[in-house]
Amino acid sequence: MHYLSQALITYSINVNCIGCTLCAQKCPVDAIAFTPHEKHIIDTEKCIKCDSCMQVCPEGAVVVEEVSNHEMQLCGIGGCGLNELINEIS
């Protein structure tokens, strides 16, 4: 995955999570708190988008989402043709 497009995605965990803790054990930067039997949560500030949690999850509960245009505009990088650039390189 290209560096720029990777910067515009975020990992999260959906309701399919059964709290098996595998992702928390695999995460190299402790971005997922170890909470057995509960829905796990990714700390996006810590996450380095290594994909390990998605690969290990038995429930397919880890999802990758694009940072929305709204969020991009909030940080001042939307509306400048960036989407078109991303589409070209991804």
Q: 54 vs 82, which CB is nearer to ligand SF4?
A: 54
- The reply to whether 10 sits near ligand SF4 by the rule CB under 6 A is no
84 to each of 27, 35, 62, how far by Cα in Å?
32, 40, 27
Half-sphere exposure of residue 65: CA atoms within 13 angstroms, side-chain side: 13
- The reply to whether 8 sits near ligand SF4 by the rule CB under 6 A is no
- The reply to whether 86 sits near ligand SF4 by the rule CB under 6 A is no
State the binding string over 31-70 for ligand SF4 (x if CB under 6 A, else -). xx-------x-x----xxxxxxx--xx-x-xx--------
Helix count (H) and strand count (E) of the chain? 5, 2
Q: Which residues of 12-46 are buried (b: 16+ CB within 10 A; e: fewer)?
A: ebeeebebbbbbbeebeeebbeeeeeeebebeeee
Q: How far is the CB of 13 from ligand SF4 (least distance, A)?
A: 4
Using CB under 6 A as the criterion, which residues of the chain lie in contact with ligand SF4 when the complex forms? Answer: 11, 13, 17-23, 26-27, 29, 31-32, 40, 42, 47-53, 56-57, 59, 61-62
